Amino acid sequence: MNRFFLICAAALTASGFAHAQDKAQDSNDTAAHLLSAEEIAAFVPNIDDYPADPQRIAAMEFSFVGGALAAGKRPTAISDDGNPEKLIPEFRDAVGEYTSLGSRYQPNIESIADAKPDLIIADKDRHTVIKDDLEKIAPTLFVKSRGEDYYENLQAAQVIGHVLHQDDTMSKSIEDHLQKMRDARDALQGSKMADETVQFAVITDKGMWMHGPTSYAGTVISSLGLKSPIPEQTEEAYIPTSLEQLLAADPDWLLVGRYNDHTVLEDWKDSPLYQNLKAVKNDHVVEVDSSYWSLSRSMPSAERMAQDLIAHSQE
């Protein structure tokens, strides 16, 4: 019976997301991507299975920490890969003391059970394999986190707010966030950056990965009315990028999130070809904090990204 409900929920979730995406496909307004009350309810047909006022929430992804906080709830247990520094400062300050659940990739069931949660929020991509184990510990909400874009992150937040029975608080948080993003968009539209292309990429010692138009960073950038240099590359969210491909994209602005001290960018800097990039010529290669830009999808992260873009657009 439970399985039947889950299948129904999954089907409704898929159709709900698809519908929401269709609805907003031609819209530049982020609000148009949000789910209606009916769509949110359809996501969680078994809402009565969840506690009415959960006090001990286990968040198994950073984006769920953001979701719970936006709903006015403080997670008491978090999968932080055993490193509290991985939480962005906004989360660390708001959460305070919490129990670490270890790796997000390989969750420790015993640690989760020891934390005695009354609600678990898990990634439907990463954690489905341990679904039965999690549900033995506490009612578990599975929503998308890994690979989500900006709009999906907001929709997941709406669902989390609904399951926490904090729809009004979440609506207000999202509205406040959207207002900040609208203000940022207006500021950016009034700057020179509005006519230029902006690209974010992660750089490591093994290569560069551009975050394409369908990635979280890519959708935040487009929601702010800024252009991508590679609008046609929607197949992959994270695009492995050689110097030749970077030259082909040739963005006006190149924002990079560094994962290592020595990266391919240092190797490329000696090349005359690298010096030919528009972003290099105009001194528009900018290092940004990868904690916000690529490691922690949440409303505070999107706001920080918007602020970064505004700060650089005024240089």
Q: State the DSSP H helix or E strand holding residue 238, giving kind and residue range, or none if neither.
A: strand 238-241
Distance of CA 5 to the CA centre of its chain: 28
**CB of residue 67 to another protein, shortest distance in Å:** 20
Q: Does 276 bind another protein (CB under 8 A)?
A: yes
Residue in 192, 194, 255 with CA at minimum distance from that of residue 227? 194
Q: Does 14 bind another protein (CB under 8 A)?
A: no
Q: CA dist 129 to 10, 83, 112, 133, 164, Å?
A: 15, 24, 15, 9, 24
Residue by residue, DSSP assigns 36-77 as PHHHHHHH-TTGGGS-SS-SSEEESSHHHHHHHHHTT---SE
Across 21-47, b (16+ Cβ under 10 Å) vs e yields: eeebeeeeebeebbbeeebbbbbbeee
Q: How far apart are CA 196 and CA 192, in angstroms?
A: 7
Q: Which of 28, 36, 55, 106 binds another protein (CB under 8 A)?
A: 106
Q: Does 55 bind another protein (CB under 8 A)?
A: no
Sketch the per residue contact string, 295 through 314, with another protein: x for CB under 8 A, - otherwise: x-------------------
Distance of CA 21 to the CA centre of its chain: 16
Q: Which of 8, 14, 37, 273 binds another protein (CB under 8 A)?
A: 273
Q: Does 238 bind another protein (CB under 8 A)?
A: yes
Q: Does 280 bind another protein (CB under 8 A)?
A: no
**CB of residue 142 to another protein, shortest distance in Å:** 19
Q: Which of 27, 36, 179, 242 binds another protein (CB under 8 A)?
A: 242
| Of residues 66-105, those binding another protein (CB under 8 A) | 81, 103-105
For another protein, the closer of residues 103 and 171 by Cβ is 103
Counting DSSP H helices and E strands in the chain, the numbers are 15, 10
Q: Does 259 bind another protein (CB under 8 A)?
A: yes
Cβ(200)–Cβ(221) under 8 Å? yes
Q: Does 262 bind another protein (CB under 8 A)?
A: yes
Sketch the per residue contact string, 192 through 231, with another protein: x for CB under 8 A, - otherwise: ------------xxxx-x----------------------
Residues that bind another protein (CB under 8 A): 81, 103-106, 204-207, 209, 233, 235-236, 238-240, 242-245, 247-248, 259-262, 264, 267, 271-273, 276, 295
